[in-house]
Amino acid sequence: MDPAVLREATRIDPAVPFRASSDHLHHTWAQTFFSRPELYVRPRSIDEIRKLVTLARHCRRRLVTVGSGHSPSDLTCTSSWLVNLDDFNRVLEVSPETGVVTIEAGIRLRDLGARLEEHGLTLSNLGSIDSQSVAGVISTGTHGSSLQHGLISECILSLTLMLANGQLVRCSATNNPSLFRAALISLGALGIIVEITLQAEPTFKVAWRQTRRQLSSVLNEWTSGLWTSHEFVRVWWMPYEKSAVVWHADKTDLPLRPPPRLFYGETLGYHVYHNLLALANYFPRILPWVEWLVFGLQYGFKAEATVTEAVEPARSGLLMNCLYSQFVNEWALPLEKGPEAITRLSAWLNGDPATARIPFSADGLYVHCPIEVRVSDSTRNQTPRPFLDPTSPNGPTLYLNATLYRPYLRDPPCKDQYYEAFEWLMRDLGARPHWAKNFLSTRAELKHLYGPDMDEWLKVRQDVDPDGMFLGEWHYRTLVLPGTSSDESDPSSTVMAALPLLEREKTRRKADVRGAGDGMEWIGDRRWETKEELGDQAAAHAAAAAAASAGASVSALEKEKSHPWPEASSLSPPTTATSEESFDLLASGEASIVLPEYDSWVKE
């Protein structure tokens, strides 16, 4: 560990452990990105989280909170400090009568599900899997598929965040409502969510049924019951077969009935499909045949010929098998635009450019299936709407997800050509990308798509983290942060002056990790490593920090340094109680390690 960090760690709350390791290799679930954080920290208490934040502030490090790493983009990559709350995952309070539950934010959905079941409770809605942390699910706007539900986070009643100044703040619809709306989709950029209070409901079972249908019959039923006849509905579209698997589920009192095992749910089918996808990376033109074979074996070769049914507890029955590593590119658009979106994309993939009206060639392109078609309706939401909610504010939302598998972690050759056209179509239809997934939208586009809501989110973010401790390249690329401009032409040095802790990407390269396939290693700027070049200046600042933490006043010499250095009295005091009412602004610049000026280290 950097001796300067070690020195600080022993000074701040010496009785509180700092559980950090320095050899952690982080990767996303899909192994699309790898990164090697300087420190990987696994706190077990609020005091440990506060010590970590204080230490990061003193040592001028960026902090990234990672849940289960299921977001496939570089959102959670860092060469700085990575925090994981897997050891901060207790259920703190459950009221079986009201269904109100308070948890530590690191708990995974499946562990929460198991604990709630002991009290006769469950979550009302789930997405495809339950491996994610609850805080991660909230932070990116994870959704399931039901017009009777909005985002999974609509069950959240209040959140407690640890801010960059070490202050704990609780927010809800009535306390700090702007912070609440910002934190409901925070992109990890506001602080560390440490506690969550949510509304659960009594456990229920779902009876589900799925069958294969012609795409035309699905589109014909679009406005006449496809999405409204059942509580949960999702559609898997097979573009070359021009058919779709329609799955629907409702609450039931029927006895449990386990689902039948299907082709790729068994070991043989799983590996056969995986190897066919791997072969298709070399011979993409076999993909329509793979679609016919695998989905025929799985769901029947003819429409309506095979029906699969089961009755399961909701916490397992709403999930599905996501199979292999994948790229996912998912967008939210008004539900009524669904038939047009699907008809045009289908035409483009099947060689009918006149109907497609997509200005890119699909020559030689073959893609994977299924394209996931799901819905939600956040207008029914009783909690305040997150500022960055991608769903339609005026009615039901359709989610279209262009999944591409990465067999044996190898990228499919169609990715760039497919996603360029898919994203173009989504933009043409006024759609907004799912924050967790692989999209290429620029900050200017996103600013336009969110308008005043984005401005509000940015304002709250800036208030709670003015130095950019929770920001990285993903945020820089995607958001119009202070010092950036929406025309993408900002000189980077302005951003770094405005947000001195923001971590920029230095480079990305093919991961030099055994078995990483085509995964990329993300490398951040590691600016603190060049501090030695500052020599005396850094030493003087470190000495000043020691003096400040010992209660001494800062010398006149220190005040003259170029890096802002606060009076000892202006350092933010550690807060011990959760603030219900408001949050203080930070004492920025409280540093024991000085970062070099931006221009001296950045490689443009």
Ligand X SMILES: Cc1cc2nc3c(=O)[nH]c(=O)nc-3n(C[C@H](O)[C@H](O)[C@H](O)COP(=O)(O)OP(=O)(O)OC[C@H]3O[C@@H](n4cnc5c(N)ncnc54)[C@H](O)[C@@H]3O)c2cc1C
Which residues of the shown chain bind ligand X in the complex (CB under 6 A)? 29-30, 64-71, 75-76, 85, 105, 127-129, 132-133, 135-137, 139-140, 142-143, 186-188, 192-193, 322, 434, 436
Q: Shortest gap between Cβ of 7 and ligand X (angstroms)? A: 28
Residue 571 to residue 462: CA distance in whole angstroms:
18
Nearest to 318 by CA among 142, 67, 130: 130
Q: Shortest gap between Cβ of 418 and ligand X (angstroms)? A: 19
| DSSP label at residue 133 | B
| Minimum CB distance to ligand X smaller for 433 or for 500 | 433
| Minimum CB distance to ligand X smaller for 148 or for 485 | 148
| Minimum CB distance to ligand X smaller for 53 or for 542 | 53
Number of H helices, E strands in the chain: 18, 23
Q: Shortest gap between Cβ of 69 and ligand X (angstroms)? A: 5
Residue 329 to residue 271: CA distance in whole angstroms:
24
Q: Which residues pair with 302 in a beta bridge?
A: none
| Minimum CB distance to ligand X smaller for 192 or for 335 | 192
Tokens of 205: 């079972």
The CA-CA-CA angle for residues 100, 104, 109, to 5°, reads 75
Q: Which residues pair with 133 in a beta bridge?
A: 108
Q: Shortest gap between Cβ of 539 and ligand X (angstroms)? A: 33
Q: Shortest gap between Cβ of 282 and ligand X (angstroms)? A: 25
Q: Shortest gap between Cβ of 233 and ligand X (angstroms)? A: 14
Q: Shortest gap between Cβ of 325 and ligand X (angstroms)? A: 9
- The packing angle between helices 3-11 and 536-549, to 10°, is 10
With residue 354 as reference, give the H or E element that holds it.
Answer: helix 353-356
Q: Shortest gap between Cβ of 412 and ligand X (angstroms)? A: 17
| Minimum CB distance to ligand X smaller for 214 or for 462 | 462
Q: If phi over 0 gives left and psi between -120 and 50 gives alpha, with beta otherwise, what is residue 25?
A: beta
Q: Shortest gap between Cβ of 140 and ligand X (angstroms)? A: 4
Type of residue found at 487:
D
Tokens of 157: 């009643």
Q: Shortest gap between Cβ of 131 and ligand X (angstroms)? A: 7
Q: Shortest gap between Cβ of 264 and ligand X (angstroms)? A: 15
Residue 532 to residue 254: CA distance in whole angstroms:
69
The Cβ-side half-sphere exposure at 132, using a 13 Å CA radius, reads 22
CA distances from 429 to 235, 398, 423 (A): 20, 12, 10
| Minimum CB distance to ligand X smaller for 163 or for 542 | 163
| Minimum CB distance to ligand X smaller for 114 or for 552 | 114
| Minimum CB distance to ligand X smaller for 320 or for 547 | 320
Nearest to 119 by CA among 138, 151, 96: 96
Provide the sign of the torsion angle of the four alpha carbons 113, 387, 29, 39, taken in this order: negative
Residue 440 to residue 438: CA distance in whole angstroms:
7
Contact 437, 187 (CB under 8 A): no
The Cβ-side half-sphere exposure at 89, using a 13 Å CA radius, reads 22
Q: Shortest gap between Cβ of 145 and ligand X (angstroms)? A: 8
Q: Shortest gap between Cβ of 67 and ligand X (angstroms)? A: 2
| Minimum CB distance to ligand X smaller for 71 or for 484 | 71
Task: Give me the residue label for tokens 């496809």.
Answer: 226
Tokens of 385: 């709407």
Contact 510, 518 (CB under 8 A): yes
Q: Which residues pair with 63 in a beta bridge?
A: 81
Residue 462 makes CB contacts below 8 A (sequence gap 6+) with: 482
| Minimum CB distance to ligand X smaller for 77 or for 594 | 77
| Minimum CB distance to ligand X smaller for 332 or for 544 | 332
Would you mind telling me the total number of residues written for the chain in this entry? 604
Ordered alpha helix ranges (H), 206-283? 215-220, 267-282
Nearest to 256 by CA among 316, 296, 201: 316
